[in-house]
Chains A and B, each alone.
Chain A
Amino acid sequence: MSKLEQFRAETRAWLEDNCPPTMREPIRSFEDLYTGGRNPEIKHPDQQLWCERMAARGWTVPHWPREYGGGGLDKEECKVLREEMERINARRPLESFGISMLGPALLQFGNEEQKLEHLPPICRGEIRWCQGYSEPNAGSDLASLQTRAEDHGDHYIINGQKVWTSYADKADWIFCLVRTDNSGSKHEGISFVLFDMASPGVSTRPIRLISGSSPFCETFFDNVKAWKRNRVGEEGKGWAIAKYLLTHEREMISGFGAAPKKSLGEAALETLGADASGRLGNGILRHTIAQYQLDALAFAATMSRVGDEAKAGQGLGAASSIFKYYGTELNKRRNELNLAIGGEAALGWDGEVYHGGATSRDWLRSKGNSIEGGTSEVQLNIIAKRVLGLPD
C-alpha cells in the first residue's frame, strides 16, 4: 500500500468512527454552518463536538502547518481528506473568515508571534473574525478609507466608521484597515491592524438585508485602543496585505459558482415533469438551464485547470478576479433559475409550506455576491487593466 493509500484507509476509518451521523446530513442553508467564536451560534450540539474532534487532528484547516493548529497535510492528502469527507457527506466542521481570509494573510505577512497567537484559536474555532474594510465613502474605492489610527507609542487610538461589516455584532476580533498617514497617495499610509471587538469604544448596529436576515453591520470606533504588536506588516504598508487578503476572499466567494449536487435540469424534471420524449416541456427554460449547466461545467474545469497550472508554476493573471466575477454571476443565474423552476413555491417568504422562504431568501442573498469582496465591475476593471493592459 502506498503512503497515500494508507492515509486514505486511516482517514476513512477515523471519519467513520468520529463523524456524528447528524453532521452527515446535508446543510439546508447558510445558517447551518458552524462558525465558532466565544459565543458560538449552535444549531446542533454535535457541531461543537465535530469541530473539536477535527480540530484535535488539525483538520479544520488541514493545509495549514501543524505548529499553527493546522493539519500539515500536503495537497494530495488534503484532496484525499476532502474526498473521504464527501464520501460520507460529512459537513465541513468550521467555516470562518479567520480560515478563508485572515489566516492566509497572516501566514504570508504576519510575524512568528502573531501567527502563534492568532492562528491556533482560528483552527479550534475559538475566535471568530470580521473584516473591517468598507466605509461609507470607501467601497469600490477602498483605498480612500478614512478611519484614523493615531500613534500613541505602543498602541494606536482608532476613530472612524466601517460599514457592511459582516457579522461584526457576533465576531470576537476584527482585521481592520486604518489610516496611519494622510500625507502620501491614498494607497500609502494604510495599516492592517487586529483588535478585539470587546475593546471599549467599539459599537455595532446590525443592518437588515433584503433577504430578511441581518448579517452585516455599521461598526463605529470611538477612541479604540489597538496594540501595535497586533499590526500586521509595516506601518503604512497595509495596502499590499489588504489586496492579498482580497484575492483569498474572492476565491472563497467564487466557490458559490459550484453547481449543486442535484443538477438544475434534474430538479426541473422532478418539479415540472417531462414531455413525451423525456425532455423538459418548455424549450425556453430547457435552453436557459442547459446554458447554465454548460457554463458551470466549464467554470469547474477552469478552476481545476488553473489550479493544476499553478502547481506547475504557471499563473493565470488576476485569476481570483476572473473566478470571482464568473462564479458570482453563475450563482445569480442559478438562483434566478431556482425561481423559474420553482414558480409559486419558490416565491414564498414565510410559513411552513414555503420552508420559511428558503429559496427566495437565498435568491435575494445571491444578489450580494457580485457586490461583496469587490463588485463585478471592479473585477472586470482589474482584468481589463492588469491582464489585458488596457489604459486607465
Chain B
Amino acid sequence: MALVLTEEQVMLRESAAGLLADRAGVAQLRALRDAGDELGFSREVWQDIAAMGWPGIAIPEAYDGLGYGYTGLGLVLEQAGRHLSPSPLQSSVLVGTTAVHALGTEAQKQALLPSLAAGELLVSLALQEGVQHAPEQTAMAAVPAGDGYTLTGDKILVLDALAADRFVVIARTSGSAGDTEGLTAFLVPADAAGLTVERRSLVDSRGVGALHFDGVQVPADGVMGEPGRAWAGLGRTLDIANIGLAAELLGLATEAFERTVAYLQERKQFGKVIGSFQGLQHRAAELFAELELARSIVLQALQAIDADDPELPKLASAAKAKLCEVAQRATNEGIQMHGGIGMTDEYEIGFFIKRARVAQHCFGDYNYHLDRFARLSGF
C-alpha cells in the first residue's frame, strides 16, 4: 500500500480538523477543567462528532459502520491530538469498540457495534491494575457462579469511566498473574450491582476512573469469547489502541512544534527574533526531521491494521515507542523555547505536555514498547 493518503482520507482529515478546532479545542478543554466537569468532555460536542459518523469509521459496514478502516480513524485521532479534543474517541471508538470487535461473540457484536457506530453507546476497557501497563499480570479474579462468573477486584486508568455505558473487563479465570493463558473478557454494564465507579483526576484533566468490583455477577451472555483465551483478542485490541494513541501523539507533537516555531519567529531578544539563534534553529530542525519519521511510522502502522499485516504487534510497539519519544521531546522543547511564558497556565503550551504524558503512559510507555519492540524483533 502506498504511504500516501487517498483523496477521501484527506477530506476526512480536513473535516475533522475543522470541527475539532471549532468545537473541541484547548479553550474548551480549559473550560471543562476549570469547571471541574465530571465527564471531562461535552456531550453536545460528542453528538456533533457522532453526527459526522466518526464513531463508525473503523466499524465494518455489516455492523452499520462506515468501513473506512483504521487509517481513517487514525487521521481523526491525529486531529484530536492537535486540538487536545476531549471526547470518547479514544476510550470508546478506538479501544472499546475494537475490544468488542476483537473479543466479542457474534451476538455481542451484532448487539453492540451498531449503537457504537452511531455514538449512542460508550464502551471502555478495564484492564490495568498496577501502576504500570502489564496485561499478562492481570490478577483480578473471575470465579464461576451458576452459568456465569463473579468478579472481584479493582481496575484503574479506565478511560471515560464515568461516561461509559459498559465495560470490557479483563479478568482471570485460571492460571496466575504473569500467564497469558487464563484471561477472559467480560461485558459489564456500568450500573451492575456491586460495581462502583470512582472519578480520578489525572494531570491531563480528562475523564478517567477507578472501578471497584465487589462480587459483580456476570451472566453467561456477558462472557466474551472462549473463557481463558482472551489474550489474542486483547493483544490485537492493545496493538490498535497503541497505534491510535500514537496517531493522537503525532497530532499533539506536531501542533506543539508548530506553535513553538511560530513563537521563535515572533519573540525578540537581543534585538532579533529568537529563531535567528542557531542553537534553537538546529534543535527545531532536528525535531522537524523526527516528526517526519514519526508521521511515516504511524501511517505504516495504521495501514498494517487495515491490511491484517502479521507484523502488526511489532509495528504497534514501534509506532508507540517512537511517538512517546518524539512527543516527549516536542513538548519539553515547547516549554523550554517559550521561556517564562511557557511555564504559565494562561499560555496553552502546558496543556500539550500534560496530555502527552498521559497518552504516552496509557497501554504502555516508551520503556515498555521499546523493550517489546526488541523482543518482537527477536533479540
In this complex, the member of A144, A332, A347 whose beta carbon has the largest number of chain B beta carbons within 10 angstroms is A347
Bound CA span A212–B220, Å: 47
Chain A residues with CB below 8 A from B210, complex form: 353
Contact pattern, A 202-233, Cβ under 8 Å of B = 1, otherwise 0: 00000111101000000000000000000000
**Which residues from chain A contact B203 at a C-beta distance below 8 Å?**
347-349, 357, 360, 364
Question: Which A146-194 residues have a C-beta within 8 angstroms of B?
Answer: 163-164
The reply to whether A344 and B336 contact each other, CB–CB distance below 8 Å, is: no
- A339 at the binding interface (Cβ < 8 Å): yes
Q: B344–A208 contact, CB under 8 A?
A: yes
Chain A, Cβ-Cβ closest to B280: A377
Q: Does A285 contact B (CB under 8 A)?
A: yes
Q: Least Cβ distance of A229 to chain B in Å?
A: 32
Q: What's the minimum C-beta distance from B103 to chain A, rounded to whole angstroms?
A: 23
Chain A residue at minimum C-beta to C-beta distance from B334: A367
Inter-subunit contact A367/B343 (CB<8 Å): yes
Listed residue (B130, B131, B335, B342) with the most chain A CB atoms within 10 angstroms of its CB = B131
Q: How far is the CB of B125 from chain A (nearest CB, A)?
A: 14
Chain B positions within 8 Å of A, measured between CB atoms, are 128, 130-133, 156-157, 200-205, 210, 268-271, 274, 277, 279-280, 328, 332, 335-336, 339-340, 342-346, 350, 353-354, 357-358, 361, 365-368, 370-371
Residues of chain A whose beta carbon lies under 8 Å from any beta carbon of chain B: 134, 137, 139-141, 144, 163-164, 207-210, 212, 271-272, 282-285, 288, 332, 336, 339-340, 342-351, 353-354, 357, 360, 364, 367-368, 370-372, 375-377, 380-381
B339–A285 touching, CB < 8 Å:
no
Q: Are B357 and A209 in contact (CB under 8 A)?
A: no
CA distance A343 to B364 in the complex (A): 9
B341 to chain A: closest CB distance in Å? 9
- What is the CA–CA distance of A381 and B279 in the complex, to the nearest angstrom? 9
In the complex, what residues of B have CB within 8 A of residue A357's CB?
201, 203
Shortest Cβ distance from A365 into chain B, in angstroms?
Answer: 8
Q: Are B367 and A350 in contact (CB under 8 A)?
A: no
Question: In the complex, what's the smallest C-beta–C-beta distance from A215 to chain B, in angstroms?
Answer: 10
- Chain A residues lying within 8 Å of B339, measured Cβ to Cβ, are 139-140, 371, 375
The answer to whether A343 touches B361 (Cβ under 8 A) is yes
Pair B202/A349 contact, Cβ less than 8 Å:
yes
Q: A345-B131, A349-B205, A371-B342 are in contact. Are A210 and B200 (CB under 8 A)?
A: no
Cβ contact within 8 Å between A210 and B367? no
* A143 to chain B: closest residue by CB: B270
Contact yes or no, B343 A371, CB < 8 A: yes
Cβ-neighbour of B157 out of A163, A210, A344, A376 (below 8 A): A344
Distance (whole angstroms) from the CB of B347 to the closest CB of chain A: 9
CB-CB under 8 A for A284 and B200, given A139-B339, A371-B343: no
Q: Closest chain B residue to A209 by CB distance?
A: B343
**Contact partner, B131, options A344, A367, A370, Cβ 8 Å:** A344
Complex: A367 Cα to B270 Cα, angstroms: 23
Min CB distance A143 to B, Å, is: 9
